[in-house]
């Protein structure tokens, strides 16, 4: 009876201690939190992340082998019918062109998937400082801007996606005539929508207009596709307008990304006029 009571008291004590530690962890400065998380990733999680990295590569290789076989077949067909060349060219460019147009500015990384409900806000990438990735390195997909690196380990890095409430990027229209600030709209991430805010009332942006990064702020190079204007959301009488923007890059369907490791001022050459917009 006594030992049962002692065990029960010990259970309660363990519960209180763990909850207390969790509260302390939540209240720690972000810098300390990042240090603890990085330490765990480098030690306890390292073998598991290696398993996931290998699995992701295996999965990618499996998918690419299917694509390779399809491309081989289509190449045989192309030998007979050259008109298929244009379509093949388009698909290959989407897969490879971004990497080749940023020859020494970007490294490719695999998106490692996790189970927690905050997965739509950040992603763990398979490359880190050993590949030149640093905090605030822009993360791109073939369709456009996906996010920005927040913290980096030697072999992995954590990127904040455009769906994160803290994400902001300065945007402009392709002709550079209208500027504004883009942030996530919230709600169901599958709606793929952002908000363009701070557009002067005198400027109007017609639906269907692509938005690109403006290069202001020094984090994102100019000319990366962000999304397409869908509609006006609200007007602050005589002051400014807000627009709904359909995002160019979908975090949920992105398995591979390019991380810019060298500072560029203009990345518009990497995205042709047809890229994702």
Q: Does residue number 158 form part of the binding site for another protein (CB under 8 A)?
A: yes
Smallest gap from Cβ 30 to another protein, in A, equals: 8
231 binds another protein (CB under 8 A): no
User: Which one of the spans 111-119, 196-204, 235-243, 265-273 is the region binding another protein (CB under 8 A)?
Assistant: 111-119
* Least Cβ distance, residue 212 to another protein (angstroms): 26
2 interacts with another protein by CB under 8 A? no
> What residues form DSSP beta bridges with 111?
125
What residues are paired with 122 via a beta bridge? 160
Q: Name the segment binding another protein (CB under 8 A); options: 14-22, 126-134, 139-147, 224-232.
A: 14-22
Q: List all residues 6 or more positions away from 112 whose beta carbon is below 8 Å from its beta carbon.
A: 49, 52, 53, 56, 123, 124, 125, 126, 156
Cross-strand partners of 193: 246
Interface positions, 71-90, toward another protein (CB under 8 A): none
From 97, 133, 111, 94, select the one nearest 259 (Cα to Cα).
133
Interface characters, 187-226, with another protein (x: CB under 8 A):
xxxx------------------------------------
**Which of 167, 272, 276, 164 minimizes the C-alpha distance to 219?**
167
98, 109, 122, 227: which one contacts another protein (CB under 8 A)? Answer: 122
Candidate list 1, 2, 23, 80; residue touching another protein; CB under 8 A? 23
Rounded Cα gap, residues 206 and 258, in angstroms: 30
Helix then strand count (H, E) for the chain reads 5, 12
Beta bridge partners of 140: 145, 258
Q: What is the binding site for another protein (CB under 8 A)?
A: 7, 10-15, 18-19, 21-28, 30, 33-34, 36-38, 40-41, 44-45, 48-49, 51-52, 54-56, 59, 112-122, 124, 150-151, 158, 164-165, 186-190, 252
């Amino acid at each position: 009876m006594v030992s049962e009571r002692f065990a029960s008291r010990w259970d309660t004590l363990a519960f209180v201690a763990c909850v207390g530690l969790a509260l302390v962890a939540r209240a720690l400065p972000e810098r300390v939190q990042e240090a603890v998380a990085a330490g765990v990733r480098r030690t306890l999680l390292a073998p598991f992340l290696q398993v996931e990295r290998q699995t992701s590569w295996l999965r990618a290789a499996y998918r690419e082998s299917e694509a390779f076989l399809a491309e081989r077949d289509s190449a045989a067909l192309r030998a007979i019918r050259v008109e298929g060349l244009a379509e093949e060219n388009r698909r290959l460019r989407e897969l490879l062109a971004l990497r080749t147009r940023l020859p020494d500015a970007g490294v490719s990384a695999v998106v490692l998937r996790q189970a927690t409900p905050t997965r739509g806000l950040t992603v763990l990438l398979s490359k880190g400082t050993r590949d030149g990735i640093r905090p605030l390195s822009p993360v791109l997909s073939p369709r456009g801007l996906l996010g920005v690196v927040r913290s980096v380990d030697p072999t992995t890095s954590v990127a904040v996606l455009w769906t994160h409430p803290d994400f902001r990027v300065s945007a402009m229209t392709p002709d550079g005539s209208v500027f504004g600030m883009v942030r996530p709209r919230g709600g169901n991430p599958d709606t793929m929508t952002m908000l363009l805010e701070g557009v002067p009332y005198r400027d109007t942006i017609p639906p269907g207009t692509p938005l690109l990064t403006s290069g202001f702020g020094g984090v994102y190079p100019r000319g990366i596709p962000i999304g397409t204007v869908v509609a006006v959301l609200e007007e602050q009488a005589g002051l400014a307008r807000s627009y709904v923007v359909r995002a160019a890059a979908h975090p949920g369907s992105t398995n591979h990304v390019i991380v810019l490791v060298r500072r560029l001022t203009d990345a518009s050459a990497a995205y042709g006029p047809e890229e994702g917009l």
